């Protein structure tokens, strides 16, 4: 498979207004957003056969998303804050099989997504918060695919969150929250090479924890942990039911740790560790990818409006895979795992004006 064209373009504009209404402080935020994802894919065995068969396997997909949103943050009292809002998305997908097949189509989907949340500050060390949000994930942002039909719908989600956060002893910020997510029309791999379908409903529940501790002499450390149980809830096929099976490619445990040091003259350096639990690659939960741990290094330095970053990713050159499929195609007809990058180095220069 070869991507002849692959890009994502985004543009956003918003306006914020602070105003007092009925003796309550309100912060209004209104905005519009546009995103285009374009992908042209050619499938061929190798470069030699590509010159003969490119016309037989050539797909072009464009996905345009127009969005508008409105949000109001209301400070009811010094301790109580409410956040309400809504978002409207229009998603247009243009699928073109350039071989001349009859599977070409244009589809349009839309969704209103409400949001409501609150924060109540008991003390600086204990702030209770909760959120209810709805959202939509488009086909191209859910899973990389080039063979799907007009009946494939975007994923729709409802998310509930309740937690507590604050600052302890003047040096540790913490956040602990439980979550429950209900997904409709979950998009998953069907078992064919880059073929996808909607899988009815799925649910995910778990807990997230994050801690950041300031240490002496400019040092600091951070820890984060996520436990998530993601299962199909209503997914029946002619061959049987997949209810209570784990959703593919979702690990149960994630853990991260970071040790850093920063100085106004010399900049900032971070050493981070990332651990991921095993994950299934198929809906029947027969095949899984191994757990892995990766260590990264990052140095950054700012000069007024200029920022320089140098990163070393996977410094111990760990061999691991985060993504796999049940079918690797004509040359690898069985299950396949795609190795992640080995030891890699990146340099980044950003100017803000």
Dist CA 187 CA 325 (whole Å): 14
**Cβ within 8 Å of residue 299, ≥6 positions away:** 267, 268, 269, 270, 309, 310, 311
**Cβ within 8 Å of residue 333, ≥6 positions away:** 327
**Cβ within 8 Å of residue 51, ≥6 positions away:** none
Q: Are the CB atoms for 327 and 335 separated by under 8 Å?
A: yes
pLDDT tens-digit map of 12-24: 999 999 999 888 8
Q: Is the dihedral of CA 147, 153, 154, 155 positive or negative?
A: negative
With 70 as the cut, is the pLDDT of residue 103 above it?
no
Instruction: Please tell me the pTM assigned to this model.
Output: 0.83
Confidence tier at 324 by pLDDT (50, 70, 90)? confident
Q: Which has more pLDDT, 352 or 310?
A: 310
**Cβ within 8 Å of residue 43, ≥6 positions away:** 1, 2, 57, 58, 59, 146
Q: Are the CB atoms for 102 and 134 separated by under 8 Å?
A: no
Angle (CA) 167-208-284 rounded to 5° is 175
Q: How far is CA 133 from CA 14, 115, 207, in A?
A: 20, 4, 17
As a whole number, mean pLDDT of residues 135-162 equals 78
Burial 181-220 (b: 16+ CB within 10 A, else e): bbbbbbbbbbeebbebbbbbbbbbebebebbbeeeeeeeb
Confidence tier at 157 by pLDDT (50, 70, 90)? very high
pLDDT tens-digit map of 45-90: 555 555 555 555 667 788 899 999 999 999 999 899 999 999 999 9
Tally the residues of the chain: 353
**Cβ within 8 Å of residue 271, ≥6 positions away:** 258, 259, 260, 295, 296, 297
As a whole number, mean pLDDT of residues 192-199 equals 68
Among candidate residues 168, 172, 262, 269, the one with its CA nearest the CA of residue 217: 262
Domain boundaries, the chain: 2-351
Q: What is the CATH architecture assignment of 2-351?
A: Beta Barrel (2.40)
Q: Which has more pLDDT, 40 or 136?
A: 136
pLDDT tens-digit map of 206-262: 999 999 999 999 999 999 999 999 999 888 877 788 888 999 889 999 999 999 999
With 80 as the cut, is the pLDDT of residue 27 above it?
yes
As a whole number, mean pLDDT of residues 171-196 equals 83
């Amino acid at each position: 498979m070869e991507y002849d064209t692959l890009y994502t373009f985004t543009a956003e504009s918003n306006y914020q207004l602070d105003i007092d209404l009925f003796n309550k402080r309100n912060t209004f935020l209104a905005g519009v957003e546009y995103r285009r994802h374009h992908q042209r894919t050619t499938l061929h065995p190798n470069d030699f056969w590509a010159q003969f068969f490119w016309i037989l396997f050539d797909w072009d997909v464009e996905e345009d998303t127009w969005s508008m949103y409105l949000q109001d943050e209301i400070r009811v009292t010094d301790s109580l804050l409410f956040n309400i809002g809504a978002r409207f998305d229009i998603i247009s997908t243009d699928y073109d099989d350039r071989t001349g097949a009859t599977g070409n189509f244009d589809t349009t989907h839309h969704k209103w997504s409400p949001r409501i949340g609150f924060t109540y500050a008991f003390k600086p060390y204990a702030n209770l918060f909760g959120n209810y949000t709805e959202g939509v994930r488009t086909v191209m942002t859910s899973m990389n695919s080039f063979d799907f039909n007009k009946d494939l719908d975007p994923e729709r989600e409802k998310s509930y969150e309740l937690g507590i956060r604050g600052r302890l002893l003047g040096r540790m910020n913490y956040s602990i929250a439980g979550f429950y997510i209900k997904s409709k029309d979950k998009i998953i791999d069907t078992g064919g090479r880059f073929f996808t379908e909607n899988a009815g409903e799925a649910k995910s529940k778990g807990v997230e924890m994050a801690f950041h501790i300031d240490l002496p002499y400019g040092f600091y450390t951070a820890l984060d942990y996520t436990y998530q149980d993601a299962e199909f809830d209503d997914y029946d096929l002619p061959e049987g039911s997949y209810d209570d099976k784990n959703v593919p490619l979702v690990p149960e445990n994630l853990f991260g740790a970071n040790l850093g040091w920063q100085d106004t003259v010399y900049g900032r350096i971070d050493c981070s560790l990332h651990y991921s639990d095993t994950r299934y690659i198929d809906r029947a939960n027969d095949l899984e990818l191994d757990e892995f741990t990766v260590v990264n290094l990052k140095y950054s330095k700012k000069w007024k409006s200029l920022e320089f970053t140098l990163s070393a990713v996977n410094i111990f050159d760990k061999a691991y895979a985060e993504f796999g499929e049940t079918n690797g195609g004509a040359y690898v007809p069985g299950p396949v795992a795609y190795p992640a990058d080995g030891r890699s180095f990146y340099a980044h220069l950003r100017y803000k004006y």
